[in-house]
Amino acid sequence: MDIKTKLNIVLYEPEIPQNTGNIVRLAACTNADVYLVGKLGFSIDSRHVKRAGLDYWDSVNIRRVEHLQDLWNEFPDSNFYYLTTKTKNLYTDVKFKNGDFLVFGPETRGLPEDLIFSKGKNSVTIPMNDGQRSLNLSNSVAIVVYEALRQNGWS
Protein backbone atom coordinates (compact mmCIF):
# COMPACT_ATOMS: atom_id res chain seq x y z
CA MET A 1 0.00 0.00 0.00
CA ASP A 2 1.15 3.47 -0.79
CA ILE A 3 0.38 6.24 1.68
CA LYS A 4 -0.01 9.53 -0.17
CA THR A 5 -0.88 11.67 2.86
CA LYS A 6 2.22 13.06 4.55
CA LEU A 7 1.78 13.83 8.24
CA ASN A 8 4.17 15.44 10.66
CA ILE A 9 4.38 14.15 14.22
CA VAL A 10 5.73 16.71 16.69
CA LEU A 11 6.86 15.53 20.10
CA TYR A 12 7.29 18.49 22.43
CA GLU A 13 9.77 17.66 25.20
CA PRO A 14 9.19 13.88 25.20
CA GLU A 15 10.36 12.18 28.38
CA ILE A 16 10.17 8.41 27.87
CA PRO A 17 12.56 6.91 25.31
CA GLN A 18 10.46 3.83 24.64
CA ASN A 19 7.48 5.98 23.62
CA THR A 20 9.64 7.95 21.20
CA GLY A 21 11.03 4.73 19.75
CA ASN A 22 7.51 3.35 19.26
CA ILE A 23 6.44 6.58 17.58
CA VAL A 24 9.43 6.43 15.22
CA ARG A 25 8.36 2.91 14.28
CA LEU A 26 4.80 4.16 13.66
CA ALA A 27 6.18 7.01 11.54
CA ALA A 28 8.13 4.57 9.40
CA CYS A 29 5.00 2.51 8.81
CA THR A 30 2.84 5.55 7.96
CA ASN A 31 5.27 7.75 6.00
CA ALA A 32 5.27 10.45 8.69
CA ASP A 33 8.08 12.80 9.64
CA VAL A 34 9.01 13.24 13.31
CA TYR A 35 10.05 16.50 14.95
CA LEU A 36 11.57 16.41 18.43
CA VAL A 37 11.10 19.84 19.99
CA GLY A 38 12.77 21.35 23.03
CA LYS A 39 14.47 19.57 25.89
CA LEU A 40 14.37 15.79 25.67
CA GLY A 41 14.13 13.62 28.77
CA PHE A 42 16.67 11.18 27.30
CA SER A 43 19.53 10.91 24.84
CA ILE A 44 18.66 10.12 21.24
CA ASP A 45 21.43 7.54 21.44
CA SER A 46 19.67 5.80 24.32
CA ARG A 47 19.49 2.05 23.83
CA HIS A 48 15.85 2.19 24.96
CA VAL A 49 14.94 4.55 22.12
CA LYS A 50 16.86 2.50 19.58
CA ARG A 51 15.45 -0.78 20.81
CA ALA A 52 11.83 0.41 20.68
CA GLY A 53 12.36 1.81 17.17
CA LEU A 54 14.14 -1.36 16.09
CA ASP A 55 15.55 -1.00 12.60
CA TYR A 56 13.09 1.71 11.54
CA TRP A 57 15.30 4.71 12.40
CA ASP A 58 16.80 4.93 8.91
CA SER A 59 13.32 4.96 7.34
CA VAL A 60 12.14 8.13 9.07
CA ASN A 61 12.95 11.79 8.65
CA ILE A 62 13.65 12.85 12.26
CA ARG A 63 14.53 16.45 13.05
CA ARG A 64 15.54 18.16 16.27
CA VAL A 65 14.01 21.62 16.70
CA GLU A 66 14.65 24.00 19.58
CA HIS A 67 11.25 25.75 19.74
CA LEU A 68 7.75 25.30 18.34
CA GLN A 69 8.08 28.83 16.98
CA ASP A 70 10.79 27.50 14.64
CA LEU A 71 8.26 25.11 13.07
CA TRP A 72 5.60 27.81 12.86
CA ASN A 73 8.10 30.05 11.06
CA GLU A 74 9.27 27.31 8.69
CA PHE A 75 5.74 26.10 7.86
CA PRO A 76 3.54 29.21 8.14
CA ASP A 77 0.79 27.87 5.85
CA SER A 78 0.47 24.48 7.57
CA ASN A 79 -2.18 23.38 10.04
CA PHE A 80 -0.98 22.55 13.53
CA TYR A 81 -3.17 20.51 15.89
CA TYR A 82 -2.37 20.31 19.60
CA LEU A 83 -3.42 17.17 21.46
CA THR A 84 -4.55 17.66 25.03
CA THR A 85 -6.90 16.36 27.70
CA LYS A 86 -7.90 19.95 28.52
CA THR A 87 -10.44 20.64 25.76
CA LYS A 88 -13.75 19.28 24.56
CA ASN A 89 -12.82 19.62 20.86
CA LEU A 90 -12.67 16.09 19.46
CA TYR A 91 -9.86 15.00 17.14
CA THR A 92 -12.47 13.20 15.01
CA ASP A 93 -14.10 16.57 14.19
CA VAL A 94 -10.90 17.78 12.50
CA LYS A 95 -10.65 17.42 8.72
CA PHE A 96 -6.99 16.45 8.49
CA LYS A 97 -5.03 17.24 5.34
CA ASN A 98 -1.73 16.39 3.73
CA GLY A 99 1.11 18.16 5.54
CA ASP A 100 -0.67 18.69 8.86
CA PHE A 101 1.36 18.81 12.06
CA LEU A 102 0.16 16.80 15.07
CA VAL A 103 1.71 18.18 18.25
CA PHE A 104 1.91 16.05 21.41
CA GLY A 105 3.25 17.10 24.81
CA PRO A 106 5.45 15.38 27.36
CA GLU A 107 4.09 12.29 29.05
CA THR A 108 3.90 13.64 32.60
CA ARG A 109 2.44 17.10 32.01
CA GLY A 110 1.21 17.53 28.44
CA LEU A 111 1.48 20.70 26.40
CA PRO A 112 1.63 24.05 28.24
CA GLU A 113 -1.85 25.36 29.03
CA ASP A 114 -1.16 28.81 27.59
CA LEU A 115 -0.34 27.17 24.26
CA ILE A 116 -3.42 24.93 24.32
CA PHE A 117 -5.84 27.70 25.24
CA SER A 118 -4.37 30.11 22.67
CA LYS A 119 -4.98 27.67 19.80
CA GLY A 120 -8.78 27.40 20.10
CA LYS A 121 -10.29 24.82 17.74
CA ASN A 122 -6.82 23.50 16.89
CA SER A 123 -6.47 22.11 20.41
CA VAL A 124 -8.14 18.72 20.30
CA THR A 125 -8.65 15.69 22.50
CA ILE A 126 -9.14 11.96 22.33
CA PRO A 127 -12.20 11.15 24.46
CA MET A 128 -11.86 8.84 27.45
CA ASN A 129 -13.72 8.02 30.66
CA ASP A 130 -14.00 10.70 33.32
CA GLY A 131 -11.49 10.39 36.12
CA GLN A 132 -8.69 9.03 33.92
CA ARG A 133 -5.57 11.14 33.50
CA SER A 134 -4.46 10.30 29.96
CA LEU A 135 -3.62 7.68 27.38
CA ASN A 136 -0.08 6.50 26.70
CA LEU A 137 1.70 8.93 24.36
CA SER A 138 2.55 6.41 21.66
CA ASN A 139 -1.04 5.09 21.70
CA SER A 140 -2.39 8.64 21.36
CA VAL A 141 -0.13 9.37 18.41
CA ALA A 142 -1.22 6.14 16.70
CA ILE A 143 -4.92 6.89 17.22
CA VAL A 144 -4.70 10.36 15.66
CA VAL A 145 -2.31 9.42 12.84
CA TYR A 146 -4.53 6.57 11.70
CA GLU A 147 -7.65 8.75 11.87
CA ALA A 148 -5.94 11.34 9.66
CA LEU A 149 -4.91 8.63 7.20
CA ARG A 150 -8.40 7.10 7.22
CA GLN A 151 -9.93 10.46 6.41
CA ASN A 152 -7.60 10.80 3.46
CA GLY A 153 -8.48 7.52 1.84
CA TRP A 154 -5.97 5.13 3.31
CA SER A 155 -7.51 2.10 4.94
The residues with which 12 forms a beta bridge, in sequence order, are 37
Residue 114, domain member (yes or no): yes
Residue 1, domain member (yes or no): no
Length of the chain: 155
Distance between CA 64 and CA 10 in Å, rounded?
Answer: 10
pLDDT digit of tens for each residue in the chain (155 aa)? 566 789 999 999 999 988 998 999 999 999 999 999 999 887 777 566 666 555 677 789 999 999 999 999 999 999 999 999 999 999 999 999 999 999 999 999 999 999 999 999 999 999 999 988 889 999 999 999 999 999 998 76
- For residue 23, the enclosing domain spans 8-151
- Cα distances (Å, whole numbers) of residue 35 to 65, 70, 153: 7, 11, 24
Residue 107, domain member (yes or no): yes
Residue 62, domain member (yes or no): yes
Residue 74, domain member (yes or no): yes
Query: Where residue 111 sits, what CATH number does that domain have?
Result: 3.40.1280.10
For 101, phi then psi, to 5°, come to -110, 130
Residue 2, domain member (yes or no): no
Q: What is the pTM of this model?
A: 0.92
Q: Which positions ≥6 away from 147 have C-beta within 8 Å?
A: 91, 92, 96
The total domain count for the chain is 1
Tally Cβ neighbours within 10 Å of residue 155.
Answer: 7
Q: Which positions ≥6 away from 29 have C-beta within 8 Å?
A: 56
Residue 3, domain member (yes or no): no
